[in-house]
Structure 1
Amino acid sequence: MTKTTRIGNPKKYDGYKSFQYLEEGKDYQPYKLAKEIDRVPAYTYPVSEEEEEKVQDILGKEHIVSMHEHTFICPEDVSEIFEFRRQGRDWTAFEALSRSGLDVIFENFMDGTAMITSQAGWKWSDVIHDIGIRYSDIAHQDMVIKAERIDDLYRAKKEGKIAFVSSLEAATMIENELDRLDVLYGLGVRCMGIAYSEANQLGAGLREPSDGGLTVFGKQAVERMNKLGITIDVSHCGDQTALDTIETSTKPVSITHVGARSLWKTNRMKPDEVIKACAEKGGVIAIEAAPHTTLTHNHPSHSIESFMEHFEYVANLVGIDHVAFGPDTLFGDHVQLHSVFARQLSIGSSHKGPAFDKVEYVKGLENPAECFPNIARWLVKHGYGEEAIRKVMGQNILRLLEETWAK
């Protein structure tokens, strides 16, 4: 393939690096961070010159939305992650994001690993600290904006910027305090999961051996999130808790990063019953690419092909109007990060399943900057039409937010 001379959807990046307004060694402890660009060999999904022109046109004119990412940069030496996280200060890969083609990113911070005061994550004070520090950094630059209203999502593209939708993967930190949802909304949170791997006051996570479904308090929390305008996510919920949440909510519910259990039998994937229930309520199912998740028996080595097999399965199951992408990637050695955090994040118990080929990284889907141009290339290469691509690359998610956010 001949490289294009044009970059679709360029952003107005001025060279800002995280916390450059502070003094290294005085205001914070420095760590050598992973490369945000070309950490691994760059990979471009193979297409013709004509197809690449279509890809760049799509990136240029459509709203490109990722429903689940972590845009922070890991330490180069991943074994330093515990002490790095205890500092409570995460770097954002602004330069790489400027090349990503993305207009809207659901930013999920790293609160399952927020370990300022605890080794277990998800503590209220740590989550507030995490959100505040990240947005203090973001407030010192102009390319990324907080998305708090629908207009912000559309304004970002017009202005050559990226809208961050503040998201949390679980509501564990609210404990039994409903009003904490209001506090988080006031800080900008617009998407929230019910539970992570472990059960909490709202319901069961996907690692639990039994799932009693959404609790009474969980139902109250769902009602409050509906009233506030917080999009609900059930990606990490147990199956019954997910079904109860979908039934209880008066608004559509999302599964922001997931695959189909019919293709790969692990708890991390969702069964057809949950996927169908989500779609029938008007929700969106976004396909994830975190290492060793969306595998298939046709592609037991994680790649863009296995990832897109999950996409096509879900699209065929519930229709093109209910599927999108939430790759769930970050900047750094994601595979090694999973190994280091296997116990804290319950990865081992939630990913048990068939044998698979371990990869060092998922080629073509290695980080948030690489995913969407390659997804667009795959869709164009495989004959998807303009309207279908428009929907799955952003419009389905935007429609969901129109229905779930406060007007």
Structure 2
Amino acid sequence: MTTKLYNEYQSFQYLTPGKHYRAFELPGSERYQSTMNIELTQSQERFYETILKYYPIVSLRDHGFVVPKNPEDIIPYCRQLHTEFDYQGLSQSGADVIFENFMDGISIVTSQNGLKWNDVILTLGIRFSDIAKQDTVYIAKTYEDLFEAKRTNRIAILPSLEAASILENEVDRVDVLYGLGVRCMGITYNEANTLGSGLTEKRDAGLTKFGRKVVERMNSLGMVIDISHCGDQTSLDVIEASAQPVMITHAGARKIWDSPRMKSDEVLQACAEKGGIIGVCAAPNTTLSMRNPNEHSIDSVMEHLEYMIDLVGIDHVGLGPDTFFGDHVALQNAFDQMLSLHESHGNDEYESSPFVKGLENPSEATKNMIRWLIQKDYKIQDLEKISGGNALRVLKQILN
């Protein structure tokens, strides 16, 4: 199996736990385990290895973040700067490029509710310091940087932010973020901000005047605009206002699972018509399916992908699993009220799944999605597009 360079580095090993930061108990080897083995024939296995070896693999959203083992530790763990980043796990992911937001939405070092400027800047700085000490991942700032991943057997991290709430009313902060390396930013998270309405708002007033200024500035700089957590009208307004294609990095189709977190056909089609791309999400209790509402599995996630392929075409879809290491649902529960997570899931007619079967973490998610597509006899041309080609085409147009 193809794996990336890994030199045994552990996060912040240049510091002393207990002296320089508080150490929390983390999950062990179970953080890499999958509950599903997607069986392939010998010829399909060779096909799979060929894809990983020669074709660029892009995850439109994943995380190296490790959730502490004990749920009661999650909030205090996130109140410090030194959270674990799993370089070994990412090295096994098969991905060449990962859109990574460094969990900025749950950084609560200085604030009670997160998504604040100081918290995000601190989080970026401390993570970049940690990244500078290891060999597995590197920060990509240009389109050309992305192709160093295959050549050097590493992973290109494209720094991203979940939402632009941290801008408040300061458009020049977009330039500051770009200068710090951020190349993708969401317009809103689940709740409204000064740019527009998030997907849990009862009334979506659309993109604000300030939001239009931010869209223009992001276009000028060459920063990807993400509408994964925007309300429908705000999403449509952003697509219309942007001079460049817009991405939905991690979401699903509302026709498959009726919740605010999923995107309407109108938004999906508008995104594609502008030249954008939609990454299918695999966060627990998001991309469920009405066919089997009480089990979240790779099959329900890929049902969303296939629906979107039929709706907008093979050229406008990709993979955005949005996974990390450890108990994803425990983290959702810890930040539920703070980030309106339950409201974003919307549909109460299901039993909460503890994980997504077959897509438990970054070590498994992207690889298993590709294996699933191979098992379903997708052609090489289609696999190349879904696994990374579509994303790179859009990035070539946007990144300056």
TM-score bin, normalised by smaller chain = over 0.9
1:320 and 2:314 aligned = yes
**Which amino acid is the alignment partner of residue 267 of structure 2?**
V
Partner of 2:122: 129
Q: Give the match's secondary structure for 1:324.
A: strand
Partner of 2:149: 156
- Contact conserved, 1:36 with 1:332, CA < 8 A, in 2? no
Partner of 1:304: 298
Q: 2:353 aligns with which of 344, 347, 359?
A: 359
TM-score, normalised via structure 1 length: 0.96
Partner of 1:194: 187
- Contact conserved, 1:299 with 1:305, CA < 8 A, in 2? no
In structure 2, the CA distance between the partners of 1:205 and 1:134, relative to structure 1 (3 Å rule), is same
Partner of 2:51: 58
Alignment partners' CA distance in 1, 2:217 and 2:30:
40
- Contact conserved, 2:32 with 2:364, CA < 8 A, in 1? no
Partner of 2:252: 259
Alignment partners' CA distance in 2, 1:151 and 1:142:
19
Partner of 1:240: 233
Partner of 1:85: 78
TM-score, normalised via structure 2 length: 0.98
1:337 and 2:331 aligned = yes
Identity %: 51
**Which amino acid is the alignment partner of residue 196 of structure 1?**
Y
User: 1:359-392 deviations in whole A, cap 9, x for unaligned?
Assistant: 2211210011101221111111111000100000
Structure 1 gaps of 5+ residues are 1-6
Q: 1:399 aligns with which of 393, 396, 399?
A: 393
- Contact conserved, 2:137 with 2:156, CA < 8 A, in 1? yes
**Which amino acid is the alignment partner of residue 71 of structure 1?**
G
**Which amino acid is the alignment partner of residue 58 of structure 1?**
I
Alignment partners' CA distance in 2, 1:403 and 1:131:
26
Q: Give the match's secondary structure for 1:355.
A: coil
**Which amino acid is the alignment partner of residue 75 of structure 1?**
P
1:33 and 2:3 aligned = no
Q: Give the match's secondary structure for 1:69.
A: coil
Alignment partners' CA distance in 2, 1:167 and 1:37:
27
- How far 1:44 moved relative to its partner? 2.1
Q: Give the match's secondary structure for 2:61.
A: strand
Alignment partners' CA distance in 2, 1:352 and 1:344:
16
User: 1:208-264 deviations in whole A, cap 9, x for unaligned?
Assistant: 110110000000000000001110000000100000000000000000000000111
Alignment partners' CA distance in 1, 2:353 and 2:163:
28
- How far 1:39 moved relative to its partner? 5.3
- Summarize the alignment of residues 65-214 of structure 1 with structure 2, pairs less than 5 Å apart: 65-214=58-207
Q: Give the match's secondary structure for 1:73.
A: coil
Partner of 2:367: 373
**Which amino acid is the alignment partner of residue 180 of structure 1?**
R
- Contact conserved, 2:187 with 2:227, CA < 8 A, in 1? yes
Alignment partners' CA distance in 1, 2:90 and 2:274:
33
Single out whichever of 87-96 and 58-67 deviates more from structure 2: 87-96
Partner of 2:224: 231
- How far 1:36 moved relative to its partner? 5.8
- Contact conserved, 1:36 with 1:331, CA < 8 A, in 2? no
**Which amino acid is the alignment partner of residue 101 of structure 1?**
G
Q: Give the match's secondary structure for 1:68.
A: coil
How many residue pairs get aligned? The number is 399
- How far 1:23 moved relative to its partner? 1.3
